[in-house]
Amino acid sequence: MDPGFHTLCVRRLDVPATNPPQQLPLYLSSSFSFDQLEDCIAVFEGRKEGYVYSRYGNPTIEALATRLAQMEGYGLTDEPAALMTGSGMAAIHVLMLSLLPRGGKVLTQSNLYGGTTELLLKVMDGLGIQPVFADLSDPDQTEERLKADPDIRVLYMETPTNPGLQCIDLATMAAIARRYDCRTVVDNTFCTPYFQRPLSLGIDFVIHSTTKYLNGHGTGIAGVIIGRDRPFVTGKVFQVLKLTGATCNPFDAWMVANGIRTLPIRMERHASNALALARWLMGCDEVSRVNYPGLDSHPTHGIALRQMYGFGGMLSFEVEGGKENAIRVMNRLKVARMAPTLGDVDTLVLHPATSSHLRIAKDIRESQGITEGLIRVSTGLEGEEALIADFARALGAG
């Protein structure tokens, strides 16, 4: 039967059978069709594997999620499960909603990324989920909080912290939390699974803003939730993810999939540049403090040595003269660029007090070392000499 010209144009193209492509195919389809209604019913009822709608699942997204789970679970006996989200913030939001009932509490640190703090205070608190802040570098204080309040069901951590680069002892925190039947969550964005694998230290869940190092090129926004409890991730977390519509899109997943193929060599260069710059800044008269866990002088250097395989590409430093001098220094940089993100191939600088932590109360900011003179640096892949020369010129030391 001749379908007619109009029908010929509209009808789905048949993809020819072929040997596997070298690159991950990009499935830019909002839905997936069936030849028989019985097959559609079986997939919807969970009796048969298949895809129906990209908010529920997509081959490109699922392939990436599986690989990220393998990376975070590297060395573990049982492979964890992973779900991609629309951003790192969406990953935190979805996981908190999945883990905490109304009236539940999350114990966390005061020196979080500003956006996470705002999410907990301005969104989660309005849903009846209350954040409780403590010094998570103090195991005794952490245990006292958990012992005193059985409503605390989640211990949420960021290590190294943003932007102070303090490290938390994850194995110790995981052991304490287990004693009180409390789930543990770690934001592993700064380290990636190349430099730190919290699941191997007893942590229950890991989240990433894959926008950062895992993508590595500043070309998209996405996030991921990875957990050792596969039934919980594929059940409760997946239900919250699909019903809130916080899913990743195939194109952003495809770009992250491209990025992770060069992750090890990129992370090595990020880290070597960061260490070289941190050491140089330590000797600069205009700099009063350098935060980098790879420095022997860093207060949590010992923790970093125990639980990290490398020290990462993030650092921060404080200039004398406060905000005015920080602005002057940043405006004079030529190789490093100003941008409110991190983990790209370019070196990027940010002034936390007027950007990422702008809406955090000043007294809280400053109690955590986020002063008006603090500059955060995400070191890129440039030549070490050119990078140091750029900061020397900007600081008036070269």
DSSP state of 85: E
Is 113 considered catalytic here?
yes
Annotated catalytic, 194? no
pLDDT digits (tens, 9 = 90+) for 184-227: 999 999 999 999 999 999 999 999 999 999 999 999 999 999 99
Handedness of CA 294, 137, 223, 72 (dihedral sign): positive
Would you say residue 301 has pLDDT above 70? yes
The residue that leads in pLDDT, 123 or 363, is 123
How far out from the chain centre does Cα 293 lie? 18
Give CA torsion, residues 218, 220, 225, 230, to 10 deg: -120
Active site residue 12: no
> Are 37-260 and 263-394 the same fold in CATH?
no
Locate the domains of the chain by residue range. Answer: 37-260, 263-394
Catalytic-role residue among 145, 183, 197, 212: 212
Q: Of residues 153, 156, 187, 194, which has the active-site annotation?
A: 187
Task: Enter the CATH code of domain 37-260.
Answer: 3.40.640.10
Active site residue 47: no
Percent residues over pLDDT 90 in the chain: 85
Q: Are 54 and 76 in contact, with CB atoms under 8 Å apart?
A: no
pLDDT above 80 (res 320)? yes
Which residue is listed with tokens 């770690």?
186
CATH, domain 263-394, list 3.40.50.10190, 3.50.50.60, 3.90.1150.10, 1.10.357.10: 3.90.1150.10
Q: Which of 55, 230, 323, 332 is catalytic?
A: 55
Does the pLDDT of residue 398 top 60, yes or no? no
pLDDT tens for residues 329-351?
A: 999 999 999 999 999 999 999 99
Q: What is the pLDDT, as a whole number, of residue 397?
A: 64
Residues 113, 156, 194, 292: which is the catalytic one? 113
* Residue corresponding to tokens 């010094």: 135
Q: What is the mean pLDDT of residues 265-287?
A: 97
Nearest Cα to Cα of residue 94 among 241, 294, 219: 241
The CA distance from 56 to 43, in Å, is: 11
Q: Mean of the pLDDT values across residues 154-183?
A: 97
Query: What number is the average pLDDT over the span 91-101?
Result: 98
